[in-house]
C-alpha cells in the first residue's frame, strides 16, 4: 500500500489495483476494459480491500450491513404464518380419524355377521380370532359372529351367551364390537 501526502492511496488486493483519492472515492482497475472504474455499493466489482471496505461503504452513505426487515414486516410474517397454518393442518389431519376408514370398518364388520372365525392363539389370556371368515362346518371354525354393535360410549352391549371382540382398525377411534358365539360344543 502506498500513501501520498495529498491523501490518496493505492493498493493491490487479490491481484486487482485499487485507488482511493483525497475525497475518499474508491476505484479499481478493470483489466478487461482497460480502465479505472469507480466503486459503489452494488456494483459488480471484485472484493474491496478489507481496510477500505468500511470506509468505502460509509463514505458512499451506505451502512456496512444492509438493514434487514423487522420481524413484523409482511415479508417475514407471511412465511411464518404459512408454516404455522401447515403445521396446524397436519396436526388436525393426523389426530382426526378419517371418515373413509370408519366407513370401511363399518362395512367390513357388518359383512362378518353370520360368518365364522378361526382362533389364532391368545393374548393376555384372551383368545385372538382371524379377521377373515372361514367355513362354519370346517374344523378351524371356533366362533360365529351373531351381531355387530358399536363400541362408542353409551352403545348397547352384546346379547347374553355371546362374547365381545374388537378388531382394531387404523384411524378408527371406536371400532365395532363383534358379538361371538362358540360353534364348538363345550368340553366334558
**Residue range 85-111, pLDDT digits in tens:** 999 999 988 887 666 788 888 888 888
Contact criterion met (CB below 8 Å) for 146 and 117: no
Place of cell 456496512: 64
Nearest to 179 by CA among 169, 165, 168: 165
Which residues neighbour 41 within 8 Å (Cβ) at sequence distance 6 or greater? 57, 60, 62
Per-residue pLDDT, 188: 46
Gap between the Cα atoms of 20 and 56, Å rounded: 9
pLDDT digits (tens, 9 = 90+) for 34-67: 888 887 766 777 777 777 666 555 454 444 455 6
Per-residue pLDDT, 83: 94
Among the ranges given (24-33, 85-94, 128-137), the one the predictor scored with the smallest mean pLDDT: 24-33
Task: Give the residue ranges of DSSP H helices in the chain.
Answer: 50-59, 74-95, 99-111
Check the CA dihedral 157-144-171-128 and report its sign: positive
Pairwise pLDDT comparison (148 vs 173), residue with the higher score: 148
Per-residue pLDDT, 30: 82
Q: Give percent of the chain with pLDDT exceeding 70.
A: 80
Amino acid at each position: 500500500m502506498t500513501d501520498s501526502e495529498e491523501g490518496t492511496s493505492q493498493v493491490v488486493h487479490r491481484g486487482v489495483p485499487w485507488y482511493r483519492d483525497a475525497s475518499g472515492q474508491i476505484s479499481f482497475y478493470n483489466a478487461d476494459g482497460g480502465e479505472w472504474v469507480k466503486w459503489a455499493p452494488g456494483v459488480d466489482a471484485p472484493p474491496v480491500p478489507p481496510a477500505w471496505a468500511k470506509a468505502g461503504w460509509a463514505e458512499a452513505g451506505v451502512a456496512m450491513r444492509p438493514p434487514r426487515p423487522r420481524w413484523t414486516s409482511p415479508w417475514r410474517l407471511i412465511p411464518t404464518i404459512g408454516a404455522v397454518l401447515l403445521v396446524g393442518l397436519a396436526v388436525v389431519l393426523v389426530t382426526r380419524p378419517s371418515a373413509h376408514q370408519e366407513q370401511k370398518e363399518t362395512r367390513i364388520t357388518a359383512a362378518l355377521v353370520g360368518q365364522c372365525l378361526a382362533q389364532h392363539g391368545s393374548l393376555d389370556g384372551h383368545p385372538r380370532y382371524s379377521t377373515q371368515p372361514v367355513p362354519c362346518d370346517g374344523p378351524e371354525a371356533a366362533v360365529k359372529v351373531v351381531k355387530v354393535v358399536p363400541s362408542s360410549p353409551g352403545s348397547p352391549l352384546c346379547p347374553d351367551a355371546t362374547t365381545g371382540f374388537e378388531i382394531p382398525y387404523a384411524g378408527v377411534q371406536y371400532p365395532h364390537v363383534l358379538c361371538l358365539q362358540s360353534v364348538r360344543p363345550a368340553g366334558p
